[in-house]
Protein backbone atom coordinates (compact mmCIF):
# COMPACT_ATOMS: atom_id res chain seq x y z
CA UNK A 1 0.00 0.00 0.00
CA UNK A 2 2.53 2.54 1.19
CA UNK A 3 5.08 1.14 -1.20
CA UNK A 4 2.67 1.70 -4.09
CA UNK A 5 2.17 5.33 -3.10
CA UNK A 6 5.91 5.79 -2.77
CA UNK A 7 6.46 4.20 -6.16
CA UNK A 8 3.94 6.46 -7.83
CA UNK A 9 5.42 9.45 -6.03
CA UNK A 10 8.89 8.54 -7.23
CA UNK A 11 7.84 8.16 -10.84
CA UNK A 12 5.90 11.44 -10.70
CA UNK A 13 9.01 13.23 -9.51
CA UNK A 14 11.02 11.67 -12.34
CA UNK A 15 8.42 12.80 -14.89
CA UNK A 16 8.41 16.30 -13.40
CA UNK A 17 12.17 16.41 -13.73
CA UNK A 18 12.03 15.27 -17.38
CA UNK A 19 9.32 17.85 -18.07
CA UNK A 20 11.46 20.60 -16.57
CA UNK A 21 14.43 19.56 -18.74
CA UNK A 22 12.30 19.48 -21.90
CA UNK A 23 10.61 22.78 -21.11
CA UNK A 24 13.83 24.56 -20.35
CA UNK A 25 15.99 23.30 -23.19
CA UNK A 26 13.35 23.33 -25.92
CA UNK A 27 12.59 26.95 -25.18
CA UNK A 28 16.25 27.85 -24.94
CA UNK A 29 16.96 26.93 -28.55
CA UNK A 30 14.51 29.60 -29.62
CA UNK A 31 16.02 31.78 -32.32
CA UNK A 32 16.69 35.38 -31.44
CA UNK A 33 18.16 37.08 -28.43
CA UNK A 34 15.73 37.63 -25.53
CA UNK A 35 17.55 40.81 -24.55
CA UNK A 36 17.08 42.13 -28.08
CA UNK A 37 13.38 41.21 -27.91
CA UNK A 38 12.91 43.14 -24.68
CA UNK A 39 14.84 46.24 -25.67
CA UNK A 40 13.51 46.43 -29.21
CA UNK A 41 15.33 47.01 -32.46
CA UNK A 42 16.73 50.47 -31.77
CA UNK A 43 18.68 49.46 -28.66
CA UNK A 44 22.45 49.87 -28.75
CA UNK A 45 24.52 46.68 -28.87
CA UNK A 46 26.10 47.66 -25.52
CA UNK A 47 22.71 47.91 -23.83
CA UNK A 48 21.69 44.53 -25.23
CA UNK A 49 24.98 43.03 -24.08
CA UNK A 50 24.47 44.46 -20.62
CA UNK A 51 20.92 43.11 -20.26
CA UNK A 52 22.04 39.79 -21.71
CA UNK A 53 24.59 39.49 -18.92
CA UNK A 54 22.18 40.79 -16.29
CA UNK A 55 19.68 38.09 -17.24
CA UNK A 56 22.40 35.51 -16.79
CA UNK A 57 22.20 34.45 -20.43
CA UNK A 58 25.97 34.42 -20.89
CA UNK A 59 26.41 31.53 -18.49
CA UNK A 60 26.59 27.92 -19.73
CA UNK A 61 23.17 26.39 -20.34
CA UNK A 62 23.34 23.81 -17.56
CA UNK A 63 24.10 26.55 -15.03
CA UNK A 64 21.15 28.54 -16.28
CA UNK A 65 18.99 25.42 -15.98
CA UNK A 66 20.10 24.71 -12.42
CA UNK A 67 19.47 28.23 -11.23
CA UNK A 68 16.08 28.23 -13.01
CA UNK A 69 15.20 24.95 -11.30
CA UNK A 70 16.28 26.21 -7.87
CA UNK A 71 14.23 29.36 -8.37
CA UNK A 72 11.21 27.22 -9.24
CA UNK A 73 11.30 25.69 -5.77
CA UNK A 74 11.02 29.13 -4.22
CA UNK A 75 8.18 29.90 -6.66
CA UNK A 76 10.34 32.51 -8.33
CA UNK A 77 9.78 32.08 -12.05
CA UNK A 78 11.30 35.32 -13.18
CA UNK A 79 9.37 38.14 -14.78
CA UNK A 80 7.52 38.37 -18.03
CA UNK A 81 8.70 40.98 -20.49
CA UNK A 82 5.31 41.31 -22.18
CA UNK A 83 3.45 42.05 -18.97
CA UNK A 84 6.41 43.46 -17.02
CA UNK A 85 5.30 41.53 -13.95
CA UNK A 86 6.47 38.48 -12.04
CA UNK A 87 5.31 35.24 -13.62
CA UNK A 88 4.16 33.90 -10.25
CA UNK A 89 1.84 36.86 -9.74
CA UNK A 90 0.48 36.53 -13.27
CA UNK A 91 -0.24 32.84 -12.80
CA UNK A 92 -1.83 33.42 -9.40
CA UNK A 93 -4.17 35.95 -10.97
CA UNK A 94 -5.21 33.63 -13.83
CA UNK A 95 -5.76 30.50 -11.76
CA UNK A 96 -9.34 31.32 -10.64
CA UNK A 97 -10.50 31.77 -14.24
CA UNK A 98 -9.02 28.57 -15.64
CA UNK A 99 -9.84 26.45 -12.60
CA UNK A 100 -13.44 27.66 -12.53
CA UNK A 101 -14.17 26.76 -16.13
CA UNK A 102 -12.20 23.49 -15.93
CA UNK A 103 -13.95 22.25 -12.80
CA UNK A 104 -17.36 23.36 -14.03
CA UNK A 105 -16.75 21.69 -17.39
CA UNK A 106 -15.54 18.50 -15.78
CA UNK A 107 -18.54 18.26 -13.46
CA UNK A 108 -20.90 18.71 -16.40
CA UNK A 109 -19.03 16.27 -18.62
CA UNK A 110 -18.88 13.61 -15.88
CA UNK A 111 -22.58 13.97 -15.12
CA UNK A 112 -23.70 13.71 -18.74
CA UNK A 113 -21.23 10.94 -19.54
CA UNK A 114 -22.35 8.80 -16.60
CA UNK A 115 -26.01 9.39 -17.35
CA UNK A 116 -25.79 8.47 -21.02
CA UNK A 117 -23.04 5.89 -20.55
CA UNK A 118 -25.07 3.87 -18.06
CA UNK A 119 -28.31 4.09 -20.01
CA UNK A 120 -26.52 3.21 -23.19
CA UNK A 121 -24.91 0.13 -21.61
CA UNK A 122 -28.10 -1.11 -19.97
CA UNK A 123 -30.24 -0.55 -23.04
CA UNK A 124 -27.62 -1.70 -25.52
CA UNK A 125 -28.57 -1.18 -29.19
CA UNK A 126 -31.64 0.85 -28.28
CA UNK A 127 -32.36 4.29 -29.67
CA UNK A 128 -30.87 5.77 -26.50
CA UNK A 129 -27.71 3.79 -27.14
CA UNK A 130 -27.38 5.02 -30.71
CA UNK A 131 -28.07 8.54 -29.55
CA UNK A 132 -25.34 8.50 -26.93
CA UNK A 133 -22.89 6.91 -29.33
CA UNK A 134 -23.58 9.69 -31.79
CA UNK A 135 -22.81 12.21 -29.06
CA UNK A 136 -19.62 10.26 -28.43
CA UNK A 137 -18.43 10.56 -32.03
CA UNK A 138 -19.65 14.09 -32.70
CA UNK A 139 -18.31 15.44 -29.42
CA UNK A 140 -14.84 14.34 -30.42
CA UNK A 141 -15.09 15.68 -33.98
CA UNK A 142 -16.60 19.13 -33.52
CA UNK A 143 -13.91 21.75 -32.99
CA UNK A 144 -14.45 23.65 -29.75
CA UNK A 145 -13.73 27.00 -31.38
CA UNK A 146 -16.54 26.38 -33.82
CA UNK A 147 -19.10 25.56 -31.14
CA UNK A 148 -17.83 28.53 -29.18
CA UNK A 149 -18.51 30.87 -32.11
CA UNK A 150 -21.99 29.43 -32.62
CA UNK A 151 -22.79 29.79 -28.92
CA UNK A 152 -21.61 33.38 -28.86
CA UNK A 153 -23.90 34.33 -31.71
CA UNK A 154 -26.87 32.38 -30.47
CA UNK A 155 -26.85 32.96 -26.71
CA UNK A 156 -24.94 36.20 -26.60
CA UNK A 157 -26.13 38.15 -29.60
CA UNK A 158 -29.48 36.67 -30.64
CA UNK A 159 -30.96 35.79 -27.26
CA UNK A 160 -28.81 38.24 -25.28
CA UNK A 161 -29.02 36.10 -22.16
CA UNK A 162 -25.35 35.40 -21.55
CA UNK A 163 -22.24 37.53 -21.78
CA UNK A 164 -19.93 36.61 -24.66
CA UNK A 165 -16.63 37.67 -23.19
CA UNK A 166 -14.83 38.54 -20.00
CA UNK A 167 -14.76 37.07 -16.54
CA UNK A 168 -16.63 38.16 -13.42
CA UNK A 169 -14.88 37.11 -10.19
CA UNK A 170 -17.04 35.13 -7.79
CA UNK A 171 -16.59 37.64 -4.97
CA UNK A 172 -17.95 40.42 -7.17
CA UNK A 173 -21.23 38.79 -8.13
CA UNK A 174 -22.16 35.15 -7.91
CA UNK A 175 -24.77 35.27 -10.68
CA UNK A 176 -22.36 37.21 -12.86
CA UNK A 177 -19.64 34.65 -12.19
CA UNK A 178 -21.84 31.71 -13.18
CA UNK A 179 -23.02 33.52 -16.29
CA UNK A 180 -19.50 34.40 -17.34
CA UNK A 181 -18.20 30.84 -17.09
CA UNK A 182 -21.29 28.96 -18.27
CA UNK A 183 -20.75 29.09 -22.04
CA UNK A 184 -16.99 28.45 -21.95
CA UNK A 185 -17.50 25.48 -19.61
CA UNK A 186 -20.20 23.98 -21.81
CA UNK A 187 -17.91 24.27 -24.84
CA UNK A 188 -15.08 22.59 -22.92
CA UNK A 189 -17.41 19.91 -21.60
CA UNK A 190 -18.64 18.97 -25.08
CA UNK A 191 -15.08 18.10 -26.04
CA UNK A 192 -14.65 15.92 -22.95
CA UNK A 193 -17.94 14.04 -22.91
CA UNK A 194 -17.13 11.70 -25.80
CA UNK A 195 -14.08 10.01 -24.34
CA UNK A 196 -15.64 9.64 -20.92
CA UNK A 197 -18.88 8.27 -22.30
CA UNK A 198 -17.02 5.67 -24.30
CA UNK A 199 -15.11 4.41 -21.25
CA UNK A 200 -18.14 4.39 -18.97
CA UNK A 201 -20.22 2.53 -21.52
CA UNK A 202 -17.62 -0.15 -22.15
CA UNK A 203 -16.68 -0.73 -18.51
CA UNK A 204 -20.37 -0.84 -17.58
CA UNK A 205 -20.91 -3.45 -20.31
CA UNK A 206 -18.01 -5.48 -18.97
CA UNK A 207 -19.34 -5.21 -15.48
CA UNK A 208 -22.84 -6.32 -16.53
CA UNK A 209 -21.33 -9.53 -17.91
CA UNK A 210 -19.67 -10.50 -14.61
CA UNK A 211 -20.82 -13.40 -12.44
CA UNK A 212 -21.62 -11.15 -9.51
CA UNK A 213 -24.47 -9.66 -11.53
CA UNK A 214 -26.14 -13.08 -11.80
CA UNK A 215 -25.46 -13.59 -8.13
CA UNK A 216 -27.16 -10.32 -7.24
CA UNK A 217 -30.16 -11.20 -9.38
CA UNK A 218 -30.37 -14.66 -7.83
CA UNK A 219 -30.33 -13.02 -4.42
CA UNK A 220 -33.55 -11.33 -5.51
CA UNK A 221 -32.34 -7.72 -5.69
CA UNK A 222 -34.38 -5.43 -7.89
CA UNK A 223 -32.92 -4.64 -11.28
CA UNK A 224 -32.28 -1.03 -10.33
CA UNK A 225 -30.39 -2.09 -7.23
CA UNK A 226 -28.23 -4.58 -9.10
CA UNK A 227 -27.24 -1.86 -11.56
CA UNK A 228 -26.32 0.67 -8.96
CA UNK A 229 -24.89 -1.49 -6.20
CA UNK A 230 -23.01 -3.98 -8.34
CA UNK A 231 -22.62 -3.04 -11.98
CA UNK A 232 -21.76 0.60 -11.45
CA UNK A 233 -19.38 -0.09 -8.59
CA UNK A 234 -17.55 -2.66 -10.60
CA UNK A 235 -17.36 -0.27 -13.52
CA UNK A 236 -15.88 2.73 -11.72
CA UNK A 237 -12.12 2.16 -11.91
CA UNK A 238 -11.50 2.88 -15.58
CA UNK A 239 -13.68 6.01 -15.77
CA UNK A 240 -12.02 7.46 -12.67
CA UNK A 241 -8.57 7.00 -14.15
CA UNK A 242 -9.73 8.57 -17.38
CA UNK A 243 -11.27 11.52 -15.52
CA UNK A 244 -7.80 12.28 -14.24
CA UNK A 245 -6.36 12.15 -17.76
CA UNK A 246 -9.23 14.19 -19.15
CA UNK A 247 -8.55 16.87 -16.61
CA UNK A 248 -5.08 17.04 -18.05
CA UNK A 249 -6.42 17.39 -21.57
CA UNK A 250 -8.72 20.14 -20.35
CA UNK A 251 -5.73 22.21 -19.33
CA UNK A 252 -4.75 22.27 -23.02
CA UNK A 253 -8.28 22.85 -24.25
CA UNK A 254 -8.66 26.00 -22.21
CA UNK A 255 -6.24 27.81 -24.55
CA UNK A 256 -8.78 27.79 -27.35
CA UNK A 257 -11.85 28.42 -25.21
CA UNK A 258 -10.29 31.27 -23.27
CA UNK A 259 -9.23 32.86 -26.51
CA UNK A 260 -12.73 32.80 -28.04
CA UNK A 261 -14.44 34.06 -24.90
CA UNK A 262 -11.67 36.54 -24.07
CA UNK A 263 -11.16 35.12 -20.58
CA UNK A 264 -8.00 36.21 -18.75
CA UNK A 265 -6.93 32.67 -17.84
CA UNK A 266 -3.79 30.55 -18.04
CA UNK A 267 -4.53 29.29 -21.56
CA UNK A 268 -4.93 32.77 -22.94
CA UNK A 269 -1.64 33.74 -21.36
CA UNK A 270 0.08 30.74 -22.97
CA UNK A 271 -1.03 32.04 -26.35
CA UNK A 272 0.24 35.54 -25.57
CA UNK A 273 3.57 34.10 -24.43
CA UNK A 274 3.90 32.03 -27.62
CA UNK A 275 2.92 34.95 -29.85
CA UNK A 276 5.48 37.28 -28.27
CA UNK A 277 8.05 34.57 -27.66
CA UNK A 278 8.09 35.51 -23.99
CA UNK A 279 10.27 32.58 -22.94
CA UNK A 280 10.35 33.24 -19.22
CA UNK A 281 6.57 33.44 -19.05
CA UNK A 282 6.10 30.40 -21.26
CA UNK A 283 8.53 28.32 -19.21
CA UNK A 284 6.71 29.26 -16.02
CA UNK A 285 3.25 28.58 -17.45
CA UNK A 286 4.19 25.25 -18.99
CA UNK A 287 5.87 24.11 -15.79
CA UNK A 288 2.92 25.19 -13.68
CA UNK A 289 0.25 23.61 -15.88
CA UNK A 290 2.14 20.37 -16.38
CA UNK A 291 2.98 20.00 -12.68
CA UNK A 292 -0.67 20.55 -11.78
CA UNK A 293 -1.65 17.86 -14.25
CA UNK A 294 0.93 15.43 -12.88
CA UNK A 295 -0.20 16.05 -9.30
CA UNK A 296 -3.88 15.57 -10.20
CA UNK A 297 -3.09 12.32 -12.00
CA UNK A 298 -1.15 11.14 -8.95
CA UNK A 299 -4.05 11.90 -6.62
CA UNK A 300 -6.51 10.16 -8.95
CA UNK A 301 -4.32 7.06 -9.19
CA UNK A 302 -4.00 6.79 -5.43
CA UNK A 303 -7.74 7.27 -4.89
CA UNK A 304 -8.54 4.67 -7.52
CA UNK A 305 -6.35 2.26 -5.63
CA UNK A 306 -8.35 2.83 -2.48
CA UNK A 307 -11.53 2.10 -4.42
CA UNK A 308 -10.22 -0.99 -6.11
CA UNK A 309 -8.28 -3.27 -3.79
CA UNK A 310 -7.39 -5.54 -6.70
CA UNK A 311 -4.81 -3.04 -7.92
CA UNK A 312 -3.36 -2.95 -4.43
CA UNK A 313 -2.90 -6.69 -4.20
CA UNK A 314 -1.62 -6.80 -7.76
CA UNK A 315 1.03 -4.29 -6.79
CA UNK A 316 2.01 -6.39 -3.81
CA UNK A 317 2.28 -9.45 -5.96
CA UNK A 318 -0.58 -11.33 -4.36
CA UNK A 319 -2.27 -12.04 -7.65
Partner 1 sequence: MRKNISLILGIILVLIIIAVWVLSFVYMPYPPNEMNIPDKFLKPSIDSEHILGTDNFGRDILSRIMYGSRNVLLVGIGSVTLGTLLGIFLGAVAAMKRFANTIIMRIMDGLMAFPGILLAMMLVAVLERGIQGSIIAISIFMVPVFSRLVYSMILDTEALLYIKAAKSYGSSRKQIFLRHYIPAMLPRLITQFTSAIGSAVMIETSLSFLGLGIQPPYASWGLMLSESRQFFLSYPYLAVAPGIAIIITVLGFNLIGDGLNDILINRGNSNE
3-state secondary structure the chain: CHHHHHHHHHHHHHHHHHHHHHHHHHHHCCCCCHHHHHHCCCCCHHHHHHHHHHCCCCCCHHHHHHHHHHHHHCCCCCEECCCCEEHHHHHHHHHHHHHHHHHHHHHHHHHHHHHHHHHHHHCCCCHHHHHHHHHHHHHHHCCHHHHHHHHHHHHHHHCCCCCCCCCCCCCCCHHHHHHHHHHHHHHHHHHHHHHHHHHHHHHHHHHHHCHHHHHHHHCCCCHHHHHHHHHHHHCCHHHHHHHHHHHHHHHHHHHHHHHHCCCCCHHHHHHHHHHCCCHHHHHHHHHHHHHHHHHHHHHHHHHHHHHCHHHHHHHCCCC
When the beta carbons of 134 and 173 are compared against partner 1, the nearer one is: 134
Q: Would you count residue 249 as binding partner 1 (CB under 8 A)?
A: yes
Q: Would you count residue 250 as binding partner 1 (CB under 8 A)?
A: yes
Least Cβ distance, residue 85 to partner 1 (angstroms): 20
Q: Would you count residue 15 as binding partner 1 (CB under 8 A)?
A: yes
When the beta carbons of 62 and 306 are compared against partner 1, the nearer one is: 62
Q: Would you count residue 252 as binding partner 1 (CB under 8 A)?
A: yes
Least Cβ distance, residue 128 to partner 1 (angstroms): 15
Least Cβ distance, residue 91 to partner 1 (angstroms): 14
Q: Which of 56, 143, 166, 309 binds partner 1 (CB under 8 A)?
A: 143
Q: Would you count residue 161 as binding partner 1 (CB under 8 A)?
A: no
When the beta carbons of 89 and 262 are compared against partner 1, the nearer one is: 262
Q: Would you count residue 202 as binding partner 1 (CB under 8 A)?
A: yes
Stretch that binds partner 1, among 25-33, 45-53, 80-88, 176-184 (CB under 8 A): 25-33
Q: Which of 35, 97, 289, 304 binds partner 1 (CB under 8 A)?
A: 289
Task: Give the residues lining the site for partner 1 (CB under 8 A).
Answer: 11, 14-16, 18-19, 21-23, 26-27, 29-31, 125, 137-138, 140-146, 149-150, 152-153, 157, 201-202, 205-206, 248-253, 255-256, 259-260, 270-271, 273-275, 277, 279, 282, 286, 289-290, 293-294
Amino acid sequence: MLSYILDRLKSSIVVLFVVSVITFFVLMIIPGNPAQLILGTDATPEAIQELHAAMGLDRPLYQQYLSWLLDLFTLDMGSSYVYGESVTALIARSIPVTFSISIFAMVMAVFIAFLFGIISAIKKNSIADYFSRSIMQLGAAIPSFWIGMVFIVYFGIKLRILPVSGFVPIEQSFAGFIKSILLPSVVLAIGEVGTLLRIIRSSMLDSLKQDYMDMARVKGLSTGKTYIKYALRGALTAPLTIIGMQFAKLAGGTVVVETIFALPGLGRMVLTAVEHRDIVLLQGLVMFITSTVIIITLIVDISVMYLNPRIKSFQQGEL
